[in-house]
Amino acid sequence: MSLQPAMPKSWRVETKPHKFCPGCGHGLVLKALGEVIDELGIQDKIVFGCDIGCSLLTWDFFNVDTVQTHHGRTTPVIAGIKRARPELLGIAYMGDGGGYAIGSQHLVNAAGRNERMFVLLVNNANYGMTGGQMAPTTLPGMKTETSPYGRDVESTGNPTQGPEMVAAIAPEGSYVARGTVSNMRQLKKFIKKALENQVNGNGFSFVEALAGCPTNWRTNAQKTWEFIEKDMPKFFKVGELKVPGENKEG
């Protein structure tokens, strides 16, 4: 029998419960990530980077090495750490604002360079931390603080489809998927495959998770769940977009 003390679970720290609003999807996404880290036994190899926005509340969420970055810069920070310490497993955690607005250039370029890192992005269709303004992922007709009459796609364009954008430029060996907190078993499977892709050293991994923001959506539990399950998938198709060994050329 080993005399080494048992490694504590990566998500079991004394800062629970989490600091997110009631009904927020971040807690579900992070629980899935923590469980996968524990199942793969990679806690001591993880460097976790979190963005500004609601995702900054994860800076002390995990019992892993963590760095909080400037807004939109989590991807290049983790990419740099990974290049300096290639034996580590880098995770960049952010919201749709940090990933698809100020951080979109970093996301696309990291995918194109096939950086050996995992980006996990939570899409709740608005800027949650700053009061619910319109985000790149706000749905057509969706009301926010800066689109009180609903998003007008003729003047603002269509919602950003991040996984499709990443899959279009990421080379062979990348893993790209979109999950949802309304199907936690599937989301966890996607996250696990993304991290396994890093353990195997294949290439860039990216998972978007559709999640709720009832505080800014001003929805009760039923309406929140209906929006996640029925409205969001109309524009954000759930599933795997790129899988190592299954990618088709042409």
- Chain segment 168-180, per-residue pLDDT in tens: 999 999 999 999 9
| pLDDT, position 4 | 39
- Answer for the pair 164, 137: CB distance below 8 angstroms, yes or no: no
240 φψ region: left (φ > 0), alpha (ψ -120 to 50), beta (else): beta
Q: Are strands 175-180 and 239-242 parallel, antiparallel or unpaired?
A: antiparallel
Give me the mean pLDDT over the 183-191 stretch: 98
Would you place residue 241 in the very low, low, confident or very high pLDDT band (cuts 50, 70, 90)?
very high
pLDDT given at position 15 = 53
What domains lie within the chain, and their CATH numbers? 26-242 (3.40.50.970)
Using the predicted structure, report yes or no on whether residue 250 has a pLDDT greater than 70: no
Q: Return the pLDDT at 185.
A: 97
**What confidence category does residue 2 fall into, taking pLDDT thresholds of 50, 70 and 90?**
very low
Q: Does the pLDDT of residue 8 top 60, yes or no?
A: no
Q: Is the pLDDT of residue 41 over 60?
A: yes
Cβ-based neighbours of 5, under 8 Å, separated by 6 or more = none
Query: What is the rounded average pLDDT for all residues in the chain?
Result: 91
* Total residue length of the chain: 250
Summarize the confidence of residues 147-168 as an average pLDDT.
94
Candidate from 12-16, 86-90, 137-141 with smallest mean pLDDT: 12-16
> Is 194:186 a contact under the CB 8 Å cutoff?
no
CA distances for 36 relative to 6, 47, 167, angstroms: 17, 15, 23
- For residues 145-150, give the mean pLDDT: 92
